[in-house]
Amino acid sequence: MVDPTIRWKSRKKLNLLNTEYPRVDASAKVTGSARFSHDMRLPGMVYGRLVMIPASRATIESIDLSQALATPGVVLAELAEEDKDQVRYLGDDAVVAIVCGTSPETAQDGVRAVQIEWTPEDNMLISEEQISAPDAPKINRRGNLRQSGERGDAEKTVQALGSADVQVSATYSVPVQHHLCLETHGCVVDYNGGDEATVYASTQAVSGNPGSFARHLGLKSSQVRVVCQHMGGGFGSKFGIGLEGAMACRAARQLKRPVHLMLDRKAEFLMTGNRSGSRQVMRAGASKDGRIVALEVEAFKFGGTSGGSLPTPPYMYQVEEAYAKINTVHQALDGNRAMRAPGHPQASFAMESMVDELAYGIGMDPLEFRIKNLSDEAHHRQLRRVAKEIGWDVHPNRSGPGKKPLASGQRPAGAPLPPAGDHWKEGIGFGVSRWGGGGHGGARCEVRIDSDGSVTSSCAVQDLGTGSRTYVGTIVAEELGLGLNAVKARIGDSALPPGVASGGSVTTGSVAPAVQHAALLAREALEKKLEPVLGAEPGAYTFDKGRVFVTDDPKKSLSWQEACALLGRDPLVVTGKHQGKLADGGVHGSQAVRVAVNTRTGQIKVLDMVAVQSQGLTLNRLATKSQINGGMVGALSYALFEQRVLDADFGNLLSANMEDYKIAGAKDIPRMRALIDDDDMRPTVSGMAEGTGVPGAGAIANAVYNACGARVRHLPLTPDRVLEALKDA
């Protein structure tokens, strides 16, 4: 058996892992040959579209499907629920029918032909005023507004606030943010009747969904195969099959032909969840020597019909006395779902802003103030590193906001310059993050070695774009001394050994140890075949550069093909499982941002972003840097552009398209530097991507204040809000 003390190879002995190498599917992605669920085309396939009522609350008077059924090319038009007479919230509850056609266009024609008579309710239950009115109907049986959490001692916190040298009172808010998956939610159900089906699903849980699809198809879970070779974004919103998956199964079961049902963009905005919004009313105090002595918070979560997400304050920082009360606000809107680091960007924005305000309030360098109130040494070294990279040591605004443009010598060499003009002011802001990512059991990996030297590594895990397909192969190649593309990785198919659902950045910590275990088992099994030929016992061999050596006598060796030929007609097949000792949770990150602010127009231009991230052993440095960059881009978009816009009078979502819902574009992306914290020497792997998107929005807001004195406490940081804050300042 494999020695239980074996870990990952030491970093000095690694040839592939902990280096930069391209993803194995890079060519397929760039050339467009990668097949996503949306790309599937099957014989006899029809296209499904859902019919929705565009109001948060309404009474349905009648629905007439006859004209839809008479539309050329329409093969199915039926009600979602036979006795549905009410729409209770704007989301999947507003779906009233499904139409299937022989082409996307005919299906859409059928949708337009559906005749619906409906009456909107007087109170749409969207705004806080509507849901808090004395006569407002109840959205949730526990009430529209309820206290959902409490922590700390209120009386002690008030006393500590009274003794603080500086007090700050402020309200911070963030809007609802959409996942904005470029590949919309949905699936292609390949079912022609009979006792088996294949579902091509855009999902974060290939191994977890066969049973759900099977229930709606009237099959057993063992009779349904779920496939997801590539997917265009999930970000936490694609764990279950959703109403769209259930309706696709229902249509396929009735028609006995494949059904392609991927949501259109409007439905994607209306019914697939979101990052909940929040409002946090804070009062905090600090001592002259830089300690946060008290924090009092009343927070409100806006999660639609769901509960919303927000870690209970204080967030990240040490506070001597703290009291927090959390309130859940229910609205007649689509419920929130998990979105990268659920609740943490909301908490981070408020806390990082408050920490900055306290630091400036006592006249202390906000970098040093953070270090003083963070307990983890990892954050201390990381903050100093990003501060050096961003040029904090030569920045003139280290104890207060700037009033003048930076002079020569007040930027580090190579720093991006702001646009020309004295009305552009530069500032720097900071933020920190922490995440889990340690993984858990459940994953399996099969490694097969054939006598011709080919190697296959198989696990059902999906690749959300993070690179799991690559390391499923590369880990095995590393252990067997083979080249980068020598091992074929098979993933994204529930017929393979099970993977885990990709959420909470646990994929790497869950799957990579199982792959490593399988690689070790395969190596040991092959070494047993070598013993009669090379004369050394298992454990006494070195695998390197496509050859196998006896470690103490390198002259005794075989090429990889010669070694595999010893297998004869029977391939070597082993299965590894999760090994907890090979993974660990608890990663740290710190970020610094340099911005320029136009004090005439309120425009913000992010010039430079630097992030450093720890994670233990890095499997692919290039992919890790890509994930760090992705987190920074997401945070920038959240900080400057993204927000759901509603019409509370009529219950409409006004930003249900990619023209009115603003996101960062190519011209908005600054210089970004992704750094790996190699001082984290833990010999374990972990996921890290979610934490990289947490601190950026707060850091940008802090940089705006540092530049010009405009403290904007509400996201997004739009020009009008900057100008209003400048006026207040």
pLDDT of residue 141: 87
pLDDT tens digits, 549-605: 999 999 999 999 999 999 999 999 999 999 999 999 999 999 999 999 999 999 999
11-34+439-582 with 346-436+584-728: one CATH topology? yes
- Hunting for tokens 């769209």 — which residue is that? 244
Mean pLDDT of 518-525: 97
pLDDT of residue 6: 75
Query: Please, is 343 exposed, middle or buried when counting C-beta atoms within 10 Å of its C-beta (0-12, 13-18, 19+)?
Result: buried
pLDDT tens digits, 232-243: 999 999 999 999
pTM exceeds cut of 0.85: yes
What is the CATH topology of the domain spanning 37-121+185-262?
Aldehyde Oxidoreductase; domain 3 (3.90.1170)
Say which residues have a Cβ less than 8 Å from residue 521's Cβ, sequence separation at least 6. Answer: 2, 447, 574, 575, 576
pLDDT of residue 401: 95
pLDDT of residue 5: 64
> What's CA 204's distance to the chain center, in Å?
11
The answer, yes or no, to whether residue 439 has pLDDT greater than 90, is yes
Identify the DSSP state of 667: G
Length of the chain in terms of residues written:
729
Identify the DSSP state of 24: T
* 598-627 CB burial, b ≥16 within 10 A, e <16: bbeebbbbbbbbbbbbbbbbbbbbebbbbb
Closest to 350 in 3D by CA, of 175, 597, 174 = 174
Mean pLDDT of 439-449: 97
Q: Do residues 226 and 199 lie in contact, with contact meaning Cβ atoms separated by under 8 Å?
A: yes
Architecture of domain 346-436+584-728: 2-Layer Sandwich (3.30)
Q: What phi, psi does 8 have (nearest 5°)?
A: -60, 150
Distance, CA of 184 to CA of 267 (rounded, Å): 9
Q: What percent of the chain has pLDDT over 70?
A: 99
Q: Do residues 557 and 384 lie in contact, with contact meaning Cβ atoms separated by under 8 Å?
A: no
Query: Please, is 535 exposed, middle or buried when counting C-beta atoms within 10 Å of its C-beta (0-12, 13-18, 19+)?
Result: exposed
Mean pLDDT of 655-677: 98
Distance, CA of 460 to CA of 458 (rounded, Å): 7
Q: Work out the number of other CB atoms within 10 angstroms of the CB of residue 518.
A: 28
The answer, yes or no, to whether residue 2 has pLDDT greater than 90, is no
Q: What phi, psi does 499 have (nearest 5°)?
A: -105, -160
pLDDT tens digits, 607-635: 999 999 999 999 999 999 999 999 999 99
Least confident of 408-417, 429-438, 517-526: 408-417
First to last CA, the chain: 69
Distance, CA of 340 to CA of 135 (rounded, Å): 37
The answer, yes or no, to whether residue 539 has pLDDT greater than 80, is yes
The answer, yes or no, to whether residue 228 has pLDDT greater than 70, is yes
Round the average pLDDT of the chain to a whole number and report it: 97
pLDDT tens digits, 329-367: 999 999 999 999 999 999 999 999 999 999 999 999 999
Q: What is the DSSP string of 25-52?
A: THHHHHHT-PPPGGG---TT-EEEEEEE
pLDDT of residue 294: 98
Reported as type and span, the H/E element at residue 247 is: helix 242-255
Q: Work out the number of other CB atoms within 10 angstroms of the CB of residue 143.
A: 13
Q: What phi, psi does 337 have (nearest 5°)?
A: -125, 170
Q: Residue 390 corresponds to which tokens in the numbers above?
A: 């961003």
Distance, CA of 520 to CA of 2 (rounded, Å): 7
Q: Does the 11-34+439-582 domain belong in CATH 3.30.365.10?
A: yes
DSSP helix/strand/coil, 610 = strand
Locate the domains of the chain by residue range.
11-34+439-582, 37-121+185-262, 346-436+584-728
Distance, CA of 164 to CA of 173 (rounded, Å): 25
pLDDT of residue 121: 94
Q: Do residues 354 and 168 lie in contact, with contact meaning Cβ atoms separated by under 8 Å?
A: yes
Q: Do residues 604 and 589 lie in contact, with contact meaning Cβ atoms separated by under 8 Å?
A: no
pLDDT of residue 4: 56
Q: Work out the number of other CB atoms within 10 angstroms of the CB of residue 728.
A: 10
